[in-house]
Amino acid sequence: MWKRSLNASLSAALRRTVAPTGRAAVRVRSSSQRLRRPPSLSSDAGIAGSSLLGRRDSLRCSGRSCCSESASDDGSAPKCWNCGAVAGKSAGTAPFLACGSCRSVQPVDESVDYFQIFGLEKKYDIDVSNLEGKYKDWQKKLHPDLVHSKSEQEKEYAAGQSARVIDAYRTLSKPLTRAIYVLKLEGVNVDEEETVSEPELLTEILEIREAVDEAADSQALRQIQSQMEDKLRHWYNSFASSLHARKFEDAQTCVRRMKYYTRVNEEITKKL
């Protein structure tokens, strides 16, 4: 019984355009505040969640491809505090997190965004398979355990840079957190403690919750999870299209759905 109504609800949700007119509300909890301490080098940091989103709203993008600003664009290229090497020359095209000449870890530069940290074009559709290798490369240069013999100052830089690279990796490696971050760079904030007020989505949420609660076994749960993944793919694509067209309200609607279905999947994974 529930399968039929769930399926009907799922397919209806894929077709309709939803206007935020409802009054009823369901509180959606944020799942993004996570541990920020650097894990050991051997541990797997590829878990979901983003804690710190971009702190700069001034980066302007157009469509999928965005120009990038770096700290050196204003004529004051940062120099290594230790050997005086200039960023961009000694470090090639990599952002100046650690000096390319003397390898000293540099102070955190908030103007370097997460895409720049990984040498990526600022856009939603990125090749995630490249991220992990670059992330590990950075941790080999920045991890606080590797600078234990250095000054207290440099240890502090390493702790800050390492934590930021972890945030960058976690944020960009997941479609949902990456979407929120890309919007943030466009100056569009997504409320982490969002209230769902769209009647169709509310109805669907209740139906999916019921289906999850009543699922007889892990096979039934996996079936719901598979439906959520189909829906997520749909909303990732819708988000990319909305962003490309600079329709930020539509993009926010997509993010709301992505958040919800991602959370359902997380809840099901806990039950399995």
For residue 65, report the phi and psi dihedrals to the nearest 5 degrees: -110, 130
Inter-residue contact 176 to 258 (CB < 8 Å): yes
What is Dmax (Cα atoms) for the chain?
70
Stretch that binds Zn ion, among 73-81, 109-117, 127-135, 220-228 (CB under 5 A): 73-81
Inter-residue contact 45 to 36 (CB < 8 Å): no
DSSP for 98-111, written as a single string? B-TTT-PBPPP-TT
Stretch that binds Zn ion, among 37-45, 75-83, 158-166, 234-242 (CB under 5 A): 75-83
Residue 92 C-beta: closest distance to Zn ion, Å? 14
Interface with Zn ion (CB under 5 A), residue total 8
Q: Is 50 helix (H, G, I), strand (E, B) or coil?
A: coil
Q: Does 180 bind Zn ion (CB under 5 A)?
A: no
DSSP for 163-189, written as a single string? HHHHHHHHHHHSHHHHHHHHHHHTT--
Stretch that binds Zn ion, among 21-29, 102-110, 117-125, 143-151 (CB under 5 A): 102-110
Residue 137 C-beta: closest distance to Zn ion, Å? 18
Q: Does 101 bind Zn ion (CB under 5 A)?
A: yes
Q: Which residue(s) pair with 98 in the sheet?
A: 105
Encoded amino acid at 220, one letter: A
Site track 31-70 with Zn ion (rule: CB under 5 A), x = hit: ----------------------------------------
Judged by CB under 5 A, the residue of 102, 128, 206, 245 near Zn ion is 102
Q: Does 82 bind Zn ion (CB under 5 A)?
A: yes
Q: Does 80 bind Zn ion (CB under 5 A)?
A: yes
Site track 225-244 with Zn ion (rule: CB under 5 A), x = hit: --------------------
CA distance 96 to 79: 9
Q: Does 94 bind Zn ion (CB under 5 A)?
A: no
Inter-residue contact 138 to 78 (CB < 8 Å): no
Residues that bind Zn ion (CB under 5 A): 80, 82-83, 85, 99, 101-102, 104
